[in-house]
Amino acid sequence: MAGSSDIELSEAVVKNALEKLAWADLKQHLDAISFDSDDLDELLGHIKRHSEFIATYPAPDFEDKRDAFLDAIEGYALDTVESEGPLRVREYRATLRLIEGGYRGILDMLERAEVSKLPAALRVSAYIARSIGEYSHVAKKANQAAIRNGALDLAAAALLKDEDGNDYSPAAVIGAIVMTLGATLGMEAHRNKWWAADGRLVIPKIVPTTQDDLYKVGSGTVLGMLWRRWKRAEEKHRFLEGELRELNTSEWPEGVPANIKRLLISRPGTLDLLDFVANERLGQQSEQDLMHLVTRTRIREQIVGIEGSADLPPTNYVSIEEAHAVRALSNMLAFDVLSDAEERGGLTLAEWIRGYSLLKAMAHDLSDETRTDPILVRAEALEDALVRVGLTAERARKFIDQVTFARPKGATKASRDLYDCPLVATADGSYVLIAPALLSSHVAMLTMSNVSRFGEEFSRKGKAFEGYVHEIFRRQGLTCLSFKHETGDERYEFDAIVPWGDYVFLFECKNHGLSGYDPVRAHHFAQGLASDMNQVRRQAEELRTNPKLIAERLGKEWVGKKVIATVLNCLPYAIPMADDADVLVSDVGIVRRFFEERYFYANQHHPLENKAAILHRTAVASQWSGTNPTPKDFLSILRHPLQVKILKDHTVMDQSSYPITEDTLVLSYERLRTNTTDESFASAAGGDPRRVKQTIAKADAVIRQAKSEHSRRAARKRDRLWREMQKRNKV
């Protein structure tokens, strides 16, 4: 029976039916709407993104019920939609079988691998030890590459060469090491039933391992890596519209091994590119904040360490990383995180930062290039340490619980592998501190990512962000207004309106968290952004068609000016747009940077012997057409953000392959950041690479000469002091 065309497909009803596999409930809802081809596509989209429908491990009872549910949908599509309806359902089911087949193939290879013959306790101890050794090797190479001519240049270590001359990203490799360890522990937990009743992963007591043990678990580590890569491939397909399909033999490239019978392709799409660029920019911002802290402040004098007692910041900082986290997180969220008393996940942001900073400092103090044995901390010792550095005993236990690797509990989402939750509980009451996860992460990023697991959004601080945006424009002498407006039944709330030149700039201010490269979170961000764009589009239309409103609120002289509608994100998510786009997407970092400095600079950080540093900056490209910013310059940077172009120009698509069964290979494409040289940066920014190179070379020569003279003076001073002491001793 045809339903009403006024009722739309409800995501909440669909989600509830999927969770319960309640076909009767879903059918009742479908009967109530005018179900058509578009509704079927929307329904299949919800099903496609319902991760619980995928049985990564064999679950016969669930699979039978799920398949019966899909049978019912296929039959309903046959009765209500044109003949292509059932075909589209079958296409989804084929993709579902493909995804599950990949997981089952990896599990089958694991069961037959030699590593499965080792005792479980030895396996898990060796997995952790091996990850530590692999991390130390890659981190050492990256640190060496980041020091160029005595200057620190993190962009020079974005891409390195392996022993065979192949390019690799150390950040991606370290990420793979950590994520692979998490995937491997998850597989072992399923096989050995190590999930505790409270959701925590509790592994056996850590046992000593030998080099032979580390070698033997290599196959298990590889299979964990395959699990992780397949999971990312299928999630990018389901959530970010990435390509995932089997290639026809006519599409096969040359050189496919003879034993391969099936070749799949996994290739990310446009949404993945936007997400990648945004997260890379966030990382760059964090690095720049750290550079500013180290080179332009005396923060080292405020560090008290973790050995003694410490109050929460800003009274004390236990490490430079903690001071950096406070600064970076405050900049990212556009409010002072230390003055924010609101609890998220049971802790204030200051307590989250202190807890992660302690763990990272412990990992740093207990790690070195030769150590491979896991770092173990007794539960009571960890609680005492947290209390010593400013948390109450109750908050210390809460923090430990929130950063312990676990399965989902209630409304809490699963741990983002071992980054958010770098503690792994052991059966003897200790915790393994996963050093690679902590040492390769920024405390600010860990805090934001973990807090978001508890359904906490920073959007409730939207008013603070709006105030921050207003202040940026008012410092430039520009008017910035916000107000509410009603027309009949329509209500509007304008966050920021800036009349300037021939334009009325309209900003809808949003404070959503980024994905942290997680495809699921990236999808939700994109959904929210689409809604935000519709919202500001509606507001812009009201301004364009209501001259009375413009005259009353802004003044008659602004009637008829061109309205520029923009979604303004607090975090660095911007999209280059065509000149005729009706809505722009930018971020406050781009706006702030436009007004603060005319030029983009190439920076060189030169450390000195006394822990001080010299920061040399070379102007590369101007954001302004003249000596002062203009409205046209501003519109240009909103439409064509230079920060995004620079990063996109330093992004490549890396091709590799990996097996998911003995005879099935996946041809995989992943985005990587390439090294940023002074010349490549200048070229991407539209500057003159040759001039920039010459300027930097001259500055480097001057600084090296100055450092050499300083060293000679210091040596002469030490020599004089030594001779004076010798004279006194003789007397």
3-class secondary-structure state, position 81? coil
> Does residue 648 lie within any of the structural domains?
no
> Does residue 222 lie within any of the structural domains?
yes
- CB neighbour list of residue 642: distance below 8 Å, 6 or more residues apart: 600, 621, 623, 685, 686
Q: How confident is the model at residue 290 (pLDDT cuts 50, 70, 90)?
A: confident
**Which pTM does this prediction carry?**
0.86
In this structure, are residues 274 and 293 in contact, taking their beta carbons and an 8 Å threshold?
no
Indicate whether 57 and 154 sit together in one domain: no
> Does residue 561 lie within any of the structural domains?
yes
- What pLDDT does residue 726 have? 47
Indicate whether 206 and 282 sit together in one domain: yes
Mean pLDDT across 316-342:
90
Indicate whether 19 and 79 sit together in one domain: yes
Residue span of the structural domain in which 535 resides: 459-511+515-570+575-640
Indicate whether 346 and 401 sit together in one domain: yes
> Does residue 477 lie within any of the structural domains?
yes
> Does residue 550 lie within any of the structural domains?
yes
Exposure string over 606-627, b if 16+ CB within 10 A, otherwise e: bbeeeeeeebbebbbbbbbeee
Which segments within 428-502 are labelled E, that is strand?
430-433, 481-487, 490-500
> Does residue 312 lie within any of the structural domains?
yes
pLDDT digits (tens, 9 = 90+) for 489-527: 899 999 999 999 999 999 999 988 889 899 999 999 999
Which segments within 348-393 are labelled E, that is strand?
375-378
Which segments within 613-701 are labelled E, that is strand?
613-622, 651-661, 664-673
Indicate whether 63 and 126 sit together in one domain: no
SS3 of 289-309: the string is HHHHHHHHCCHHHHECCCCCC
198 has pLDDT over 80 = yes
Query: 442, 457, 472 — which closes off a domain?
Result: 457
Indicate whether 389 and 308 sit together in one domain: yes
pLDDT digits (tens, 9 = 90+) for 533-552: 999 999 999 999 999 999 99
Indicate whether 596 and 610 sit together in one domain: yes
Indicate whether 439 and 463 sit together in one domain: no
pLDDT digits (tens, 9 = 90+) for 147-189: 654 545 555 555 666 676 766 678 888 888 999 999 999 999 9
Mean pLDDT across 434-446:
92
Indicate whether 301 and 369 sit together in one domain: yes
Q: Which of 127-141, 444-458, 634-648 has the highest mean pLDDT?
A: 634-648
Greatest distance between any 2 Cα atoms in the chain: 112
Least confident of 97-111, 392-406, 607-621: 607-621
Indicate whether 156 and 220 sit together in one domain: yes
**Can you tell me the distance from the alpha carbon of 530 to that of 526, in angstroms, rounded to the nearest whole number?**
6
Indicate whether 331 and 433 sit together in one domain: yes
> Does residue 60 lie within any of the structural domains?
yes
Indicate whether 437 and 472 sit together in one domain: no
Please tell me the total count of domains within the chain.
Answer: 4
And the tokens for 188?
């072992």
610 has pLDDT over 70 = no
- What pLDDT does residue 81 have? 86
pLDDT digits (tens, 9 = 90+) for 616-654: 778 899 999 999 999 999 999 999 999 999 999 999 999
> Does residue 661 lie within any of the structural domains?
no
In this structure, are residues 674 and 159 in contact, taking their beta carbons and an 8 Å threshold?
yes
